[in-house]
Chain A
Amino acid sequence: MKQAAFEARYRSNWLAFEKHLDRVLSRSAGRFAKASKLKSTDTDTDTDTDPQDGEGPVDFSFSEAYRQVCNHYALAQQRGYSVSLLDYLNDLSLRGHSALYQSKTNFRYQLIRFVLFGLPQAVRKEWKLVLCASLLFYVPMVAVAVGIVLSPELAYSIFSPDQVSSFEAMYDPAADHIGRERKSETDVAMFGYYIRNNIGIGFQTVVTGIIGGLGTLFYLIYNGLAIGGVAGHLIQLGYYQPFFGFVSGHSSFELTGIVIAGAAGLKIGFSLLFPGRLRRINALTTAVAESVVLIYGVIFLLLIAAFVEAFWSSNGSVDFSVKVAVGLGTWCLVLSYFLLVGRVREA
């Protein structure tokens, strides 16, 4: 068949498909598009013989028309038709392709699924990496804290004298506030600060893992040392109450969030170092796709941590014992969440 005859025979089909495509793509603009909606109209199959009927939204079979366009594109290529026709059919197929293969997302369902199944299951699945990240984080932290308690001058080899005196001032029991010097109306301001700072660090811990895990290693150890250093110095000064009172509430969420970020970063780094039987690039994309759940987990945990830190931890009117009890409670909550939740096979 010559090109002109081919065009004359099928152009009405293509134009009908084009028209339908416009409607579909404009309808899905700005919304979660549901390809299934398009497919549900997939009832009649006579577009091939009677393209005029294909104009209506009800009896137009999208997938049928799309497959026909693909078929025509392949035919046109094989028969050596002209470039402009090939380009036209390519564009048409491409737009049909992106309209048909949209992923269906139900945000609320996904969120609930993530909290009840996705996150705890992913953390348990990657338990080796989580353990690895925990060791890299907690070992330097505890070591430096113990070291400073034993020989206090060690603090000055980690922090500058200015830094030391600033966090001494923050947690001074003689002061009428704990944490960073502020009043309660600054709660929201601090919430914003914690979100931006902590989640930013979480993200960096994850993505710098792509340098063979080195960036993640750095962030884990560095943060471990910094937190341990502050803790050790304050314990050695005898500032238990303000310090533990302040950190107990959000520590479970924040430290676990950092560890999970570390696990995700290490996973990405290891995929490049030890790709196994895959090509490095494929190993990377696979590892990244699997650690997306962990990344969402980091956001989730650090959001909670920022909220608790801004609105609860800094609340000076709550008794020390209550704060520690709540802190222990949240630790139990976090641990049992990751150990127990989502064990049931999802329905």
Chain B
Amino acid sequence: MLDTRHSIETPEGIALQLTVAGPGVRGLAYAADFMIRGVVLTIFSVLFGLLGVTGIGLLTIFAFVLEWFYPIFFEVFWHGQTPGKRFMDIKVVNDNATPVTWSSSVVRNLFRVVDFLPLFYITGLVCFCVNSQFKRVGDLAAGTLVIYNTKRKAFKFDSGVGTRVAPMPLELQEQQAIVSFCERVPQLSPQRSCELASILAPVLGEHDQQAVDALMEIGNGIRGAE
């Protein structure tokens, strides 16, 4: 329930992992969109104001379109992202992780009205909390998910720093733990990695930085790097 990962099966027979976006991020995205709409509406009300009575009509139409269709247009034409969602790096997809379509976008945004009831998205928030995929009523009705955009960071195909044979045969889980540790070392502070590696000091017979190096080498060996 606490895991925000959601897995879907594709026709290719693999299980894709999606990271579902929670109420906080989506609330912020909504707030950003709300402000953008407010600013745009203000600018246009000044511009249309110059046109007199006809301008009021055009402004009303514009406000209507902005109110109901702003999210729909952006979601359909901009890879499932409104400006607010792009800002928070999340996007709307169909339940099967395909790009959101006109129909599902129309539905999820019309049902916003229900999510808003009785005020300030209380229904939506309750709905968020009672299903594991953080769906509001509109998402349930349309069959859509809001997920984090997949990270575009380049993958490091690094070669290692020498190898070493582990002091004992390791099971798959143990091997994976060591390799995961090696991959996380660059993101950890030296102190923290020493602390973690020292847990294995009784087995490795080494301490602190030596233990880290030993684990790195064992990890390299497991990955099969030269």
Residues of A within 8 A of B (CB): 1-5, 7-8, 11, 14, 25, 29-31, 33, 66-67, 70-71, 73-74, 77, 80, 82-85, 88, 90-91, 93-95, 97-98, 101-103, 105, 185-193, 195-196, 199-200, 203-204, 206-208, 210-211, 268, 281, 284-285, 288-289, 292, 295-296
Contact = CB atoms under 8 A, between A and B. Distances in A.
B120 interface: no
Given A11-B157, A82-B183, A94 B54 contact: no
A187 B57 CA distance: 8
A207 B99 CA distance: 23
A103 B57 contact: no
Contacts of A14: 155
Contact of B60 (A31, A195, A210): A195
Interface string B115-157: 0000000000000000000000100111100000011000111
B63 interface: yes
A72 to B, nearest CB: 10
B58 interface: yes
B191 interface: no
A70 B12 contact: yes
B60 to A, nearest CB: 3
Given A8-B157, A207-B114, 11 more contacts: A70-B13, A84-B156, A94-B150, A97-B16, A103-B99, A189-B57, A190-B57, A195-B60, A284-B140, A292-B107, A296-B106
A90 B64 contact: no
A74 B13 contact: yes
A186 B223 CA distance: 75
A90 B7 CA distance: 11
Nearest to B221: A2
B107 A4 contact: no
B34 interface: no
13 contacts: A3-B224, A4-B160, A70-B12, A88-B155, A90-B16, A94-B18, A101-B96, A188-B57, A189-B57, A192-B56, A207-B113, A210-B137, A296-B106
A206 B110 contact: yes
B64 to A, nearest CB: 4
Nearest to A110: B102
Interface string B32-76: 000000000000000000000110111111011000100000000
A303 B176 CA distance: 61
A90 B141 CA distance: 27
B179 A82 contact: yes
A98 B58 CA distance: 37
B104 to A, nearest CB: 8
